[in-house]
A = this chain, B = another copy of it.
């Protein structure tokens, strides 16, 4: 006889889906601390059902994360596809922080470095390799300073996460961080990208400073 002849009940599947959808929304909007009671209520289900499907908050979050991780993988892949090493590095940062800005739970998850579940840890490890590659390439041919360490990226992520949290203009902040606060000196005149405070089409400036600017396409 087959291993399992009895299939999952339809209402259980429906409830599970509802819970996941609701939790994803609430986590993205308000962070990881949303009361579980509220998630259950919003999903039109009792708290007991929530616990029935997901014994812990982490289990619930672990069931939501994969989609975000896929997005992250895509961002990393895209960044690696960018020809110019510096632009690729910046594209990664922009993608990652954009994701964090759209989903507060990512923000929280990073801040409290508690990788809810092995799957997350694994996916992080997966992307770490790619990120190291991005960094190496940016150092070799993109003008990233040689003493830049992975720790600096972690600090930057933490920093930007807080800027996002306080509804700051994180793109502006990132641009500042990438280029520094100093005005152009006589020798580097004109090398600073604009900050674009209120610009609705807010993009981090990808261009390298200095005279050697060549347009790039992807």
| A contacts, CB < 8 Å to B | 86, 111, 113, 139, 143-149, 151-152, 154-156, 158-163, 165-166, 168-169, 172-173, 176-185, 187-188, 192, 194-195, 197, 208-210
**Cβ–Cβ contact B152 & A172, under 8 A:** yes
Residue with the greatest number of chain B CB neighbours at <10 A, chosen from A139, A181, A195: A181
- A154→B170 CA distance, assembly (Å): 12
Contact A173:B159 (CB < 8 A) given known A143-B182, A182-B145 = yes
Contact A145:B192 (CB < 8 A) given known A162-B161, A163-B158 = yes
- A79→B180 CA distance, assembly (Å): 20
**Cβ–Cβ contact B192 & A209, under 8 A:** no
**Cβ–Cβ contact B111 & A181, under 8 A:** no
